[in-house]
Structure 1
Amino acid sequence: MLKITKRKGGKSYYVRGTIAGRRLLESTQCERRSDAEIYRQRREAEILAEHTLGRRASLTFAEAALTYIEAGGEARFLRPILEHFGPDFLLKDIGNAEAQAAAEAIYHDAKPDTKNRQVITPISAVVTMAADEGRTHYRRFKRFKGGGARRTRWLTPEEAEGLLRGAEPRLRPILGVLLGGGARTGEALQIGAEFFYPATGEIYLAHTKNGDPRMIRLPGRAVDMLVGADLAEDGALFRTPKGAPYAIRENGGGQIKGAFDRARDAAGLGPDVTPHVLRHTWATWYYAATRDFGGLVDLGGWKRADVANIYRKLAPGDLADRLLAHGWDFRDLGRVRSSEARQAREAAARAEGAEALAACEKDETQRAALRLVKG
């Protein structure tokens, strides 16, 4: 049996001993003896259950979820599920009824799509990984029906122009990356200055939703938005109004919501237009301009073609021409740049040269005046 001990000078109690042929020495992480005693009783019960029934029968959902997270699984929606099931709910006891009951309890008023995405999918992922490791049996979870039509909103080039006109200067280059490169908002806000290559119009996304870094290639219009902006030269490329990097939240975005909403309202667009709509917009624009579905999948960072297919929308036949009319040329990404930025740089250089010449003339005038005074 297990006993409670405390090391000399230590704060936490340990359990040690032999039970069911298993030697054990581990910290309870408890400083009060009464709490440590509860821990000891629970560990004894767990080990005896494993010995009598086998590991499969005693594995809890919490244990399986921890293994899943430590292996790099998506932890975003697991907290409320863990709180719902508690520490002792066995993984083998979670079936369709339990999963759907959890979804109803946690997101009672949510849409079916939300319940599927935030409860059914995470539970299925935890169970599948445990089954892959031989720790439970495989099972399929039914999804809630009635999710309705998929999101179809995307921006026309004309709507996008209105959004850009209404955007604050700090927001405009971010919108350029979203519209021109298809990056997710969280991916764009984590771009390092060293990973923007203006000469080729490329950006390396080191931090992506699915964990696979990728290179995106911007059309000239988007490159110009970045080159012409006052962006950081090291660290995070995009900064808050106070000059700090944007905070990246595990459970959601919202970092640019205020600025985006003001730009959207100024453009006369509805609340259905969110930053994520720009990813749908990019996919629709890119495919309309190139008809390159393979490129769409690769540049968009989707692991499955059917997911990419959801993002590209039905578009009118003249969309490609309208995009070109507004400077969005997706046909030769990473190489072609529009002339606007080059002309702006040349004008700036000429202005700088003119100022230098004027300064020299003033210096020469002053020296001549001083010579006359001395004379």
Structure 2
Amino acid sequence: MLYRRKNSRCWWVRFTTPDGKEIRRSTGTEDKKDAEEFEAKLKQELWRVARLGEKPKRTWQEAVVRWLEETEHKASRQDDINLLRWLDSHLGSLFLNDITTDKIDQVARARSGTAPATKNRMVALIRAILRRAERQWGWIDRAPSVRTYAEPGLRIRWLTRDEADRLLKELPEHLADMARFTLATGLRRANVTGLEWGQVDLSRRVAWIHPDQAKARRAIGVPLNNDAVLVLRPWIGRHDRWVFTYKGNRITQVSTAAWYKALERAGIEDFRWHDLRHTWASWHVQEGTPLQDLMQLGGWSSYDMVLRYAHLAPEHLAEHAARIERSRTLTGTPSKPETISH
């Protein structure tokens, strides 16, 4: 039978298969005639499985459910959930065998207005699920190839102190304090929203991120400077588990309407929440923190990840730059720095 669920515009199908299994599934369409065709096709497929022993066809929704069950402790799990919610309207009613390279391209194009890097993260998630369906679950014979989008050269977006102050003044309390804490510690979004009081020791002025919470899967020790401690103290006692909450509940989203409105009021463009981490790293380098120490503070697994900040503090190279000064190369002896007027 066809029916509509509460708060759902699409038709749903419900029936019992020849082997007694109850099926409830979205047809992915608001058109009743298309929904009837979907129901007839689905019944035929399941009959062939039950009577002829053919390999059952699995749906994208089934794959998503199993993927989330098996990646419960993934550090970027919430990011996956957000992408999968958006993908459901495009892939939710499809069988895995029907998800082709062309279909994935079509879905990526439908996400208009997003950066190539964002599209690449989305298609990478689709590819990961389909590959697991092929190689581990045996649900499909072969996963389709996936095209990626060319990304522009890496650019570090960071705020000056004045810009940061303007932004913090425009944010509501919970977002402002989480942003201040990020600027003081450099922690990733998921580590801030998921921070528990059991991971904080204010008497020792330290916090820690467990390996299963860290992107590099290594524990991170987080020294808390004065700015971080001052942020945390007013939150003591508000919740018995989570550090940062909103109306008594754990915060999971930070890139909300309030965030974007605050950016607009502060006159700040092209800035993401993750750029707060870039800002923290940039401030460190500009104040002379060695890159090796920054790597440990930020929990990066590769030195290459911190080299992208090196250009922000070239002062330590001044001595080497002076080696080819014209006065030195002609006389063989260094000359006093000359003041150049503009």
TM range (shorter): 0.5 to 0.7
TM-score after normalising by structure 2: 0.63
Write the distance in 2 (CA, Å) between the matches of 1:202 and 1:315: 28
**Residue of structure 2 equivalent to 1:48:** 48
Number of residue pairs matched? 281
Rg larger in structure: 1
Q: Are 2:205 and 2:225, in contact at CA under 8 Å, matched by a contact in 1?
A: yes
Distance 1:220 1:108, change over 3 A: closer
**Residue of structure 1 equivalent to 2:311:** 314
Cα distance, 1:78 vs structure 2: 1.9
Q: SS where residue 236 of structure 2 aligns?
A: coil
Distance 1:15 1:158, change over 3 A: closer
1:51-130 paired onto structure 2 within 5 Å: 54-55=54-55, 58-72=57-71, 74-87=80-93, 89-104=94-109, 106-118=110-122, 120-130=123-133
The answer to whether residue 134 in structure 2 is matched with residue 131 in structure 1 is: yes
Write the distance in 2 (CA, Å) between the matches of 1:154 and 1:26: 55
Q: Which moved more, 1:181-190 or 1:308-317?
A: 308-317
Q: Are 1:154 and 1:280, in contact at CA under 8 Å, matched by a contact in 2?
A: yes
**Residue of structure 2 equivalent to 1:191:** 195
Cα distance, 1:99 vs structure 2: 1.0
Cα distance, 1:54 vs structure 2: 4.8
**Residue of structure 1 equivalent to 2:9:** none
Identity rate of aligned residues, in percent? Answer: 18
Q: Which moved more, 1:210-219 or 1:134-143?
A: 210-219
Cα distance, 1:49 vs structure 2: 4.8
Write the distance in 1 (CA, Å) between the matches of 2:274 and 2:260: 14
Q: Are 1:59 and 1:135, in contact at CA under 8 Å, matched by a contact in 2?
A: yes
Write the distance in 1 (CA, Å) between the matches of 2:196 and 2:314: 37
Deviation per CA, 1:102-125: give whole Å up to 9, x if none.
212x2134343332223x122111
Q: SS where residue 284 of structure 1 aligns?
A: helix
Q: Are 1:232 and 1:239, in contact at CA under 8 Å, matched by a contact in 2?
A: no
Q: Are 2:181 and 2:227, in contact at CA under 8 Å, matched by a contact in 1?
A: yes
Q: Which moved more, 1:172-181 or 1:308-317?
A: 308-317
Distance 1:92 1:305, change over 3 A: farther
**Residue of structure 1 equivalent to 2:4:** none
Q: Which runs of 5+ in 2 are unaligned?
A: 1-13, 26-34, 72-76, 317-342
Q: Which runs of 5+ in 1 are unaligned?
A: 1-12, 18-23, 320-375
Write the distance in 2 (CA, Å) between the matches of 1:307 and 1:187: 22
**Residue of structure 2 equivalent to 1:278:** 276
Q: SS where residue 97 of structure 2 aligns?
A: helix
Write the distance in 1 (CA, Å) between the matches of 2:260 and 2:245: 14
Write the distance in 2 (CA, Å) between the matches of 1:166 and 1:179: 16
Cα distance, 1:64 vs structure 2: 2.5
1:196-275 paired onto structure 2 within 5 Å: 196-205=200-209, 208=213, 214-226=219-231, 229-233=233-237, 234-235=239-240, 236-240=242-246, 244-245=248-249, 247-249=251-253, 253-254=255-256, 257=259, 261=263, 265=266, 270-275=268-273
**Residue of structure 2 equivalent to 1:8:** none
Pick from 20, 25, 30 the counterpart of residue 25 of structure 1.
20
Pick from 168, 177, 181 the counterpart of residue 177 of structure 1.
181
Q: Are 1:195 and 1:203, in contact at CA under 8 Å, matched by a contact in 2?
A: yes
Write the distance in 1 (CA, Å) between the matches of 2:158 and 2:314: 15
Write the distance in 2 (CA, Å) between the matches of 1:259 and 1:224: 27
Write the distance in 1 (CA, Å) between the matches of 2:16 and 2:205: 60
Cα distance, 1:305 vs structure 2: 3.4
**Residue of structure 2 equivalent to 1:351:** none
Q: Are 2:205 and 2:229, in contact at CA under 8 Å, matched by a contact in 1?
A: no
Q: SS where residue 182 of structure 2 aligns?
A: helix
Q: SS where residue 175 of structure 1 aligns?
A: helix
Distance 1:47 1:123, change over 3 A: farther
TM-score after normalising by structure 1: 0.58
**Residue of structure 2 equivalent to 1:291:** 291
Deviation per CA, 1:47-98: give whole Å up to 9, x if none.
5158768538x333333233222322633212333322352x3323433222
Q: Are 1:14 and 1:25, in contact at CA under 8 Å, matched by a contact in 2?
A: no
Write the distance in 1 (CA, Å) between the matches of 2:173 and 2:68: 39
The answer to whether residue 19 in structure 2 is matched with residue 15 in structure 1 is: no
Q: SS where residue 289 of structure 1 aligns?
A: coil
